[in-house]
Amino acid sequence: MRGDVVVSPSGEEIVLVDVGQRVLHDDPVIRVWEVQLEPGETHPWHLHHNPYVVLSINGSEGRMDWLDGSEPRFISEHRGGWVYRPVSPVHRLTNIGKSFYRNRLVELKDLGEHQAAPLDIHPDDVSVRTVADCALDLDGPHVLAALDVEDVRLHPGGPCSLDGEWFVLELAYLFR
């Protein structure tokens, strides 16, 4: 978390930043951050204490570097794409593409900071779809995140009406 200090393999002290740049939603189950990077910009060293889902709003090419010196991970995200990630070592993200990058990072607090040790879940326990201008009847808890406005919420399940384009993130592990 912001302000934590870790030591690199070379002995350099690194002050960590938050996993995102701005909190858009925070409740006992989830915390949703915004991350935005211009081409060439880097989100500095940070550490995830919770498993998380990345929802891509504006995609670009990216490079994840690991503080421990492991080989970098290269990513290519596109609008409407998503990925689930378990807790990972200290890393930073650089937008190495030519386009603006923006995402919503959904921390699953109930699997991380509310546990003695972070839990991992089966890939089928989280799923995401994008929808536009529709009415849904959701079975169990879902995270709803708009793609074009700053509207993010945890929906308990049941009917909802969505105007515009939305991510619908099902948290199936909460009701199994």
We report the CATH number of the domain holding residue 64 as: 2.60.120.10
User: Among 170, 174, 152, which residue's Cα sits nearest to residue 162?
Assistant: 152
SS3 125: helix
0.85 exceeded by the pTM?
yes
Same domain, 144 and 106: no
* pLDDT of 9 higher than 90: no
Same domain, 20 and 74: yes
d(CA 109, CA 149): 24
Same domain, 101 and 143: no
Q: Residue 101: which H helix or E strand, with range?
A: strand 101-108
Give 61: exposed, middle or buried? Use CB within 10 Å, 0-12, 13-18, 19+: middle
pLDDT in tens, 12-45: 999 999 999 999 999 999 999 999 999 999 999 9
Same domain, 23 and 95: yes
Same domain, 80 and 145: no
* Domain total of the chain: 2
User: What does the pLDDT read at residue 172?
Assistant: 86
Q: How confident is the model at residue 110 (pLDDT cuts 50, 70, 90)?
A: confident
Show the domain range for 128: 123-174
Same domain, 146 and 61: no
